[in-house]
Structure 1
């Protein structure tokens, strides 16, 4: 971001400084809360944005005042030449705060390079530390690969956040184990409320547990001290330091205690659709404009500015009683 770039704001005055950019909807897992095996229907290759187009979008976002870019999927490492794309971003935009969200099954072998490139943080989706539960949740037996990648990230000095979807009756008994992991390692463990997004997931009210109940369970296994730094910086997590430990434990509560008033993000899907809110199905088609030699990036900029004027408050459009939405989480980019 250039030094004199104006801050980007939406129609409610919220500063927008964060872009979640999906590089693929393809994933090598089939998580029950995202895209179970029975609902897999990948976007055709010709509709996926090319790396050159993604780089153009990063350049535009940076020029508009966005300073933080997170690469998501699907599983970003499942896309061919993904690491080359990461290198291209770091080479062209060294001042961008670049982060990656991954299931870490394909991450091993890359953490050292990511650290050398200056990637700010890696978010790893890991809902259980138990091998059998991992296979039950994801449909695949790949926990060993994730643990190996996590160890490599820590050895490389990468900042790591572990994201676990709170699943009543499945991983809630493991909360003390996750707290112990954070106590012993410099990582942030964050339990996220199960969200009713996507027609194919298994969301039911009986599967849901609130962030407050998750924190209560964590507090029974360690002394937690509130750390408000993340919320003050516009993040969604309510984090806690662990007495006597080096990591932190926290919760993200999109349902029970929304953070829409401070939402600072935009999403662009792998097929080039702009979403201003995770819970709203309203999308703006950018791909045909990007590929139009007459319109191109100037028109995309206009569309982003227009879309921001009506960026909603997610809790006003979310139906908290039933799974809804036409797109699975992996197709949206999380």
Structure 2
């Protein structure tokens, strides 16, 4: 029987087209954040992790399907040996691909000049600027390393966003200090609603700090001026290109305007699933079309035994069945996904 032709683009049954691939290059991390890994757990065995060459092949397939944005996550990407060489290979092979990196910022020091040269945009995970609180959240006393690398990234002009997981009773008091980074520097500081991910998640109604309350807290310090084309009024295409964050400029009582933006990512209280254009690849070679859905498509062995075309067909099949995460969230009776975030990729 003749094989069905592959589609030109990866479009699901809801009309959403995938333009954005997120790859977890490793599940290893030198931090142990309480909302990500509730306890120290064994890492995936090395032989089960995709080789960089295999990840590069998946990127090639994705680009052929029209993907133009790639985010590399972990774990902590720089915890994997050879990661910078992988980044350089990607830039050389896919010069037009928008390269993004999510990192905890602790291992960046030797690589900052390279990141600048490669044009990589960085998302820095940073939940507190208080050293004791940072250590309590991450179980590691490493904030000075992070803030030093943050300062150097600002000096180099590396495109930077700062992400804080918003947790009631944990880092509410950190909002003014974190958001003030956007007052002084051209960065986006985004507070992400805490998501009920994983069987052992510490998420609870008491720890959930909803976006409406975060916004109210921010308004006690600044006047917020909404950025056009962010938020509920933006159309799906705009949200896909700019990402799910709702953004505001901050203005002080004396009229000074922020250089950067304050943002909210309303993962729980206000779904943006209607505009989702993402496909995820876990470090051990599973495609995941929705963060909230535990359905995964194994491709590691398929790639090794049957080759890229077979993987391309699995990618098309997976995206065709991509669910609406908000429906899963609304129907949940506990965590929305059994896997912890560190196993999926942040």
Q: Tell me which residue corresponds to 1:312.
A: 323
SS at match of 2:145: helix
Offset of residue 242 of structure 1: 1.8
Count of residue pairs brought into register by the alignment: 326
Q: Tell me which residue corresponds to 1:53.
A: 54
Q: Supply the distance in 2 between the matched residues of 1:207 and 1:289 (Cα, whole angstroms).
A: 41
Q: Supply the distance in 2 between the matched residues of 1:281 and 1:59 (Cα, whole angstroms).
A: 25
Offset of residue 200 of structure 1: 2.7
Q: Normalising by the residue count of structure 2, what TM-score does the alignment of the two structures yield?
A: 0.91
Q: List gaps (5 residues or longer) in structure 2.
A: 1-6, 252-256
Q: How does 1:163-242 map to 2 (within 5 A)?
A: 163-230=163-230, 232-234=238-240, 235-242=243-250
Please, which of 275, 286, 296 is the counterpart of residue 307 of structure 2? 296
Q: Supply the distance in 1 between the matched residues of 2:250 and 2:109 (Cα, whole angstroms).
A: 28
Of the structure 1 ranges 180-189 and 231-240, higher mean CA displacement relative to structure 2 is found in 231-240
Q: Tell me which residue corresponds to 1:95.
A: 96
Q: Sort the Cα spacing of 1:317 and 1:233 in 2 relative to 1 into closer, same or farther, 3 A.
A: closer
Offset of residue 321 of structure 1: 6.1
Q: Does the CA contact (< 8 Å) of 1:276 and 1:308 recur in 2? A: yes
Offset of residue 109 of structure 1: 2.7
Q: Supply the distance in 2 between the matched residues of 1:324 and 1:200 (Cα, whole angstroms).
A: 12
Offset of residue 73 of structure 1: 0.3
Runs of 4+ in 1 over 2 A off after TM superposition: 5-8, 228-233, 318-326
Offset of residue 183 of structure 1: 0.3
Q: Tell me which residue corresponds to 1:79.
A: 80
Offset of residue 236 of structure 1: 0.9
Q: Supply the distance in 2 between the matched residues of 1:6 and 1:220 (Cα, whole angstroms).
A: 49
Q: Supply the distance in 1 between the matched residues of 2:74 and 2:146 (Cα, whole angstroms).
A: 17
Offset of residue 309 of structure 1: 1.2
Q: Does the CA contact (< 8 Å) of 1:205 and 1:322 recur in 2? A: no
Q: Supply the distance in 2 between the matched residues of 1:138 and 1:291 (Cα, whole angstroms).
A: 36
Of the structure 1 ranges 231-240 and 313-322, higher mean CA displacement relative to structure 2 is found in 313-322
* 1:331 is the counterpart of 2:343: yes
Q: Supply the distance in 1 between the matched residues of 2:202 and 2:157 (Cα, whole angstroms).
A: 36
Please, which of 249, 269, 272 is the counterpart of residue 256 of structure 1? 269
Offset of residue 326 of structure 1: 2.6
Q: Sort the Cα spacing of 1:200 and 1:228 in 2 relative to 1 into closer, same or farther, 3 A.
A: farther
Q: Does the CA contact (< 8 Å) of 2:168 and 2:209 recur in 1? A: yes
**CA offsets 1:232-263 (integer angstroms, 9 cap, x no match):** 24211101112311010010011100000000
Q: Tell me which residue corresponds to 1:113.
A: 114
Of the structure 1 ranges 190-199 and 29-38, higher mean CA displacement relative to structure 2 is found in 29-38
SS at match of 2:110: coil
Q: Supply the distance in 2 between the matched residues of 1:69 and 1:174 (Cα, whole angstroms).
A: 30
Q: Supply the distance in 1 between the matched residues of 2:61 and 2:79 (Cα, whole angstroms).
A: 25
**CA offsets 1:114-153 (integer angstroms, 9 cap, x no match):** 110121x100000001000001000000001110111111
Offset of residue 107 of structure 1: 1.1
Q: Does the CA contact (< 8 Å) of 1:14 and 1:262 recur in 2? A: yes
* 1:274 is the counterpart of 2:287: yes
Q: Does the CA contact (< 8 Å) of 1:273 and 1:285 recur in 2? A: yes
SS at match of 1:37: coil
SS at match of 1:177: helix
Q: Does the CA contact (< 8 Å) of 1:255 and 1:320 recur in 2? A: no
Q: Does the CA contact (< 8 Å) of 1:190 and 1:251 recur in 2? A: yes
Q: Supply the distance in 1 between the matched residues of 2:343 and 2:227 (Cα, whole angstroms).
A: 33
Q: Supply the distance in 2 between the matched residues of 1:310 and 1:24 (Cα, whole angstroms).
A: 26
